[in-house]
Structures are given as C-alpha cells and as structure tokens.
Amino acid sequence: MARRLGADYVVDFSKVDPVAEILRITDGRGVDVAIESLGTQSTFESCLRVLRPGGTLSSLGVYSSDLKIPVDAFATGLGDHTIVTTLCPGGKERMRRLMAVIESGRVDLSAMVTHRFKLDEIEAAYELFANQRDGVFKVAIAP
C-alpha cells in the first residue's frame, strides 16, 4: 500500500529489523519525524530509536495499556526529541486541508479501504479491524 501511495522506501518488519533498516537507509542519521499509529509499545520504542537528534515522534496510536519511555530509546534524554501526542495535529484546520487534498483528486486513497460495512454492521467492522483479519487495512462505515 505504501508503494502504491508513492513511498520511496518500504520496510517490511516481517523480513528485517525495522530500526536497523531505517538507520541503514539514512546512513545512521535517523529520521526527522516518526509517526506511531498502531498504538503498541514496540512500535513506539522503534519510532524513538530511529529519530535523529532533534527529531519528532508523532504518536497517534491509541494505547490499551500504560506506555513506557525507555531511557535508552529516548537517547537518555540527550537526543532533544519531541513527542507529540494528538490524533489530529493542527485540529480542525488541518483536517479541513487534508479533506481538501482528497476532494481535489490529487491523491487517491480508495485502495486503503479494504472492507465496507453498513452502519448496523459496525460491531462486525470493529471486530474485524481489531483482530486484523481477512487482509483488512481500513474499513468504511456507510450510514
């Protein structure tokens, strides 16, 4: 999906260590911004480990347990990292701009929606997505 949407590099965590691969791709520099959207401790830590000094981790995930910041992954506090935790940085205005890009047709995100449900099937949609079955990527709920 990332390639279809224009990514220059795709890292398959099932084949390589994503932290090592990202550091290899960036010649050890790390990334300016890492986005954590899965809501797991391991992906949060991986994002911290690939940040360059002064980098920003945008944490969008919804965590089901306490999140811990390991000192070594946080560069012992010397990495000048910023952690931003919000579901929509920039609020309503950012969301309006994102929707305008989609409405313009400049980007086609329809391939991301792998399953569609009616509103009265919302419980089944959430169950499918929560358990990541049947190749689900994103679900759409239609009233």
Do 77 and 125 sit in the same domain of this protein? no
Which residues does residue 82 pair with via DSSP β-bridges, in sequence order? 56
Do 71 and 16 sit in the same domain of this protein? yes
Range of the domain at 67: 1-104
Do 84 and 18 sit in the same domain of this protein? yes
- Say how many Å lie between the first and final Cα of the chain, rounded: 26
Q: Is the pLDDT of residue 9 over 80?
A: yes
Do 53 and 70 sit in the same domain of this protein? yes
Do 136 and 89 sit in the same domain of this protein? no
Instruction: Provide the angle, in degrees to the nearest 10, between the axes of the packed helices 41-50 and 18-25.
Output: 20
* pLDDT value of position 112: 87
* Count of domains for the chain: 2
* pLDDT value of position 89: 58
Give dist(CA 73, CA 70) in Å, integer.
5
| Domain containing residue 54: CATH number | 3.40.50.720
Do 25 and 80 sit in the same domain of this protein? yes
Mean pLDDT score across all residues of the chain: 87
- What dihedral angle (degrees, nearest 10) is formed by the CA atoms of 4, 10, 11, 12? 30
pTM comes to 0.70
Beta-carbon contacts of residue 58 (< 8 Å; ≥ 6 apart): 33, 34, 35, 36, 84, 89
The predicted-structure confidence for 17-40, as pLDDT tens digits, reads as follows 999 999 999 999 999 999 888 888
Do 6 and 26 sit in the same domain of this protein? yes
Give dist(CA 6, CA 142) in Å, integer.
28
The predicted-structure confidence for 87-99, as pLDDT tens digits, reads as follows 665 667 777 887 8
Do 62 and 130 sit in the same domain of this protein? no
Do 27 and 69 sit in the same domain of this protein? yes
* pLDDT value of position 82: 87
* pLDDT value of position 88: 61
The predicted-structure confidence for 105-116, as pLDDT tens digits, reads as follows 888 888 889 999
Q: Is the pLDDT of residue 104 over 80?
A: yes
